[in-house]
Structure 1
Amino acid sequence: MSVERPFLPEEGRELIGLVREIADGELAPRVAEFEAEGRFPRDLFRLLGRAGLLGLPYPEEFGGGAQPYEVYLQVLEELAARWLAVAEGVSVHTLSCYPVAAYGTGTQRKRHLPDMLGGELLGAYCLSEPQSGSDAASLTTRAVADDDGWRVSGTKAWITHAGQADFYNVFCRTGGPGTSGISCLLLDAGTPGLQPQAPERTMGLRSSTVAQIVLDGAHAPADRLVGDEGGGFRIALSALDGGRLGIAACAVGLAQAALDYAVAYARERQQFGRPILEFQGLGFMLADMATQIAAARSLYLAAARMRDAGLPHSAEAAKAKLFCTDTAMRVTTDAVQVLGGAGYVTDHPVERYMREAKVLQIFEGTNQIQRLVISRSL
């Protein structure tokens, strides 16, 4: 991958250079093996953490990188072009640090953020449930107050890093029905009663552990309530704005990888005495793929600049997530078509790219939900 990034400041260019070095040296050589075997690359997250890549958009005073979202998202894109599951994991971890960073008390930030951002810990974000996906306000996991905190019971579903994470943000009902009864609690992985289940068998992202979390009277001390009691739904929605931008950037990285591979193949593959790239039917297909990727990249960067400027950006994040992930699905499908029969076998990575692209249209809010967010903003 050799995308030019001419508008980055010098510090940003140096960071991208470091990311490319790590991604090419440590991620790219291992992705096929780990995806085929469904192994979670925990050591790689420690490596990325020690390189300062697990806390990029957070303040330096707590161990973060103090990078604007515009830079952080381009880091995700670079990682995704080599190994989507790792990039998605970095995005999920960054999302998992957000509740404490944005809504935690001063004491909570000082106590928890340095470890969260320091590189050794990995986070998970527990919002969805078996019967509460897009309709997050209907979640039923309940936390009952006791003498020194809360007892949490219920089941969370589709949790990235389940069983691998060191801390879990658990959105649960501490009050009555509706959005005002939801709170956010921070639980350690070793909390008795917090029980990760067997990993799901997924179409793609097989090296990313996804599973249900069963909570059976798991105890959260009183000081683990993040934000106000009853303020959890607002935290969840605010966090998803950043998460959707992360997924948008991951989608562009995946699409770029698919395009690069398809172009390289089309240069080498000979039919009728010349490279297939020279045939207009394929050349135009690749031109459309390149144009869609460029438009998608511009869209997520524009939304990131709005976030960095402190401007409302929920609709822009939804537009970016919608367009970038739909683009990734189209481009990876077309990459398989460019390779023909070769694209349908595991000898080439484009079949994996196509499988991976599908989930990008689903998590952090399905693309139908993104359209709902956008239409309401109109």
Structure 2
Amino acid sequence: MKEKLNGRRVVAYAFHPHVLYVLCSLLTAAHGLSDEQREFQKVAFDFAANEMAPHMAEWDEKEMFPIETMRKAAQLGFGGIYVQPDVGGSGLSRLDTSVIFEALSTGCVSTTAYISIHNMCAWMIDTFGNTEQREKFCPDLCSMEKFASYCLTEPGSGSDAASLLTTAQLKGDHYILNGSKAFISGGGDTDVYVVMCRTGGKGPKGISCLVVEKETPGLSFGKKEKKVGWNSQPTRAVIFEDCAVPVTNRLGEEGQGFGIAMKGLNGGRINIASCSLGAAHACVQLARDHLLVRKQFGETLSNNQFLQFKLAEMATKLVASRLLVREAATALQESRSDAVSLCSMAKLFVTDECFNICNQALQMHGGYGYLKDYAVQQFVRDIRVHQILEGTNEVMRMIISRNLLTES
């Protein structure tokens, strides 16, 4: 399907749900899953193919935040996947969540990645909030009547998150926030901001977590960033200038914020790795289809042994990546001692390998792969940032090696 967009020809990238589900079986995406997991995996694949993929190029080109599509996803239970059912969540496991995000990302990585961040924020409120906080925020987040953003990174503190400078000074029954957050997904367009701020001294023990609502006086936003990918979600600075937030919006006790942030990120790393799996899954499909129809030197590229071997390597790396993500998801769900290391390993290995798969798929398309008429280039652009956010892959190496060197 093609349409005119700002005078340029743009292809609406559509994948038939049956084709993707068949490929899912070929690449063992459904292997080892229960009947229930296979069913909601199929629901997610169908939603990706029917509601996301046909609009993926337009969302990217026009930088549209597809609120109504995400609310449709929430009607399927995807707004609070691992939030408890008593406040509107689906109550599913981390493995279930990974399966869903992988499937959704075959339709649009950028949109699914935002949904994963939203889910992480909802889970943090559900897990660390009290009864009143859970009942106030979670139902609207799970239905996606309201959207959430995660606010940790600052202009001067990225990988060194514990050095953050945004302050929250207690005055009566309010905290007065001052400072700014950088690279916030959804910033300015979302309703709830889960903010890490300094209520005490230096280091991680001085950090607390506040939930800031959009209409709070003193809350403002920077300009919308122009990005290489992830264009279906806005990214802005979030700015606090004498922003008064009720003490009742604090998650946990003072000084617990850094721990809350890191526990959120453990799941976030699995989520973003799962989004990378979906991109790679779609790109293997696109590469295979291209090899079967593109002719050079009198025969289709599928007869070229070098390209056959490359496709085999791509499929093998995809399956290996999926197995690692699912092991990490299971470890986190079970609160195993190796969960943090496995989450870091999954994020490191899978985002690297899946980017390589997508990039190789683009190469297989030749010059066509560099045209915006072809979906493969958007997967490459959208997936590149996964090696940076939720903790850079260099930081993942630090976490893994530190845990190995401190094992008794």
Q: Give the superposed CA RMSD.
A: 1.2
> Would you say the 8 A contact 1:139–1:173 is kept in 2?
yes
Q: Give a deviation string over 1:147-187, Cα, whole Å, max 9, x none.
A: 22111010100100101111000110011111111000001
Q: Are 1:241 and 2:266 counterparts? A: yes
Q: SS at 2:175's partner residue?
A: strand
Equivalents in 2 of 1:303, 1:99: separation in Å?
Answer: 19
| Residue 318 of structure 1: aligned partner | 344
Q: How far off is 1:85 after superposition?
A: 1.0
| Residue 267 of structure 1: aligned partner | 292
Q: Are 1:227 and 2:252 counterparts? A: yes
Q: SS at 2:195's partner residue?
A: strand
| Residue 166 of structure 1: aligned partner | 191
Equivalents in 1 of 2:320, 2:58: separation in Å?
Answer: 32
Quote the sequence identity (%): 35
> Would you say the 8 A contact 1:49–1:120 is kept in 2?
no
Q: How far off is 1:17 after superposition?
A: 2.3
The 5 Å alignment of 1:117-128 reads 117-128=142-153
> Would you say the 8 A contact 1:52–1:119 is kept in 2?
no
Q: How many residues align?
A: 378
| Residue 334 of structure 1: aligned partner | 360
Equivalents in 2 of 1:66, 1:90: separation in Å?
Answer: 16
Equivalents in 2 of 1:292, 1:8: separation in Å?
Answer: 20
Q: Which moved more, 1:7-16 or 1:144-153?
A: 7-16
| Residue 362 of structure 1: aligned partner | 388
Equivalents in 2 of 1:124, 1:345: separation in Å?
Answer: 32
Q: Are 1:152 and 2:167 counterparts? A: no
Shift >4 Å, 4+ stretches: none
Q: SS at 1:82's partner residue?
A: coil
Equivalents in 1 of 2:43, 2:368: separation in Å?
Answer: 33
Letter in 2 for 1:130: P
Q: How far off is 1:191 after superposition?
A: 0.9
| Residue 22 of structure 1: aligned partner | 47
Equivalents in 1 of 2:32, 2:312: separation in Å?
Answer: 24
Letter in 2 for 1:314: V
| Residue 371 of structure 2: aligned partner | 345
1:250 to 270, 275, 283: 275
1:135 to 130, 150, 160: 160
The 5 Å alignment of 1:150-229 reads 150-229=175-254
Q: How far off is 1:101 after superposition?
A: 1.6
> Would you say the 8 A contact 2:204–2:258 is kept in 1?
yes
> Would you say the 8 A contact 1:58–1:64 is kept in 2?
yes
Unaligned runs of 5+ in 1: none
Q: Which moved more, 1:111-120 or 1:296-305?
A: 111-120
> Would you say the 8 A contact 2:71–2:143 is kept in 1?
no
Equivalents in 2 of 1:17, 1:342: separation in Å?
Answer: 30
Q: How far off is 1:295 after superposition?
A: 0.4
Letter in 1 for 2:374: H
Letter in 2 for 1:214: I
Q: How far off is 1:21 after superposition?
A: 2.2
Instruction: Return the TM-score normalized by structure 1.
Output: 0.98
Equivalents in 2 of 1:22, 1:352: separation in Å?
Answer: 19
Q: Are 1:58 and 2:83 counterparts? A: yes
Q: Give a deviation string over 1:279-326, Cα, whole Å, max 9, x none.
A: 111111111111110000000001111122232311100000011100
| Residue 5 of structure 2: aligned partner | none
